[in-house]
Amino acid sequence: MKKQLTKLLALLLALFCFCGTAAPALAYSQQTPSNQISAQLYLGKKKKAKNKNSDKDVWIAPDHGKKYHKKNCRTLKKTKNKKKMKLSKAKKAGYKRCKVCKP
């Protein structure tokens, strides 16, 4: 009975390690991305999402609405008064994303 229990525990341990549920037992550098995520969730670590687009330049047409655009958006072609600004500032000013160019 003791040998069967030992074999069962060894099998379960191997299964957990293979499936990634025992990720903290692995060295962090040797983990696959899915194991790293499960290890972070298991350990209570939160990965901060960096917003890389917040410093991106967008274009607005102050006389024509509250949308921000890419520089070459077709909806801005006939607009004479274009203004370039940072995406974060445009969002704070209440501008919404253009559905045509999708910046």
- Rounded to two decimals, the pTM is 0.48
Per-residue pLDDT reduced to its tens digit, 45-62: 555 555 555 679 999 998
Per-residue pLDDT reduced to its tens digit, 24-34: 554 555 555 55
The sign of the torsion formed by the CA atoms of 20, 25, 28, 29 equals negative
Q: What is the Cα–Cα distance from 25 to 31, expressed in whole angstroms? A: 10
DSSP 53: G
Q: What is the Cα–Cα distance from 31 to 55, expressed in whole angstroms? A: 32
Among 28-32, 61-65, 91-95, 98-102, whose mean pLDDT is lowest?
A: 28-32
* CB 69, CB 59: distance < 8 Å: yes
Per-residue pLDDT reduced to its tens digit, 58-75: 999 988 889 999 999 999
DSSP 89: H
Helix locations, the chain, DSSP H? 2-19, 33-43, 87-92
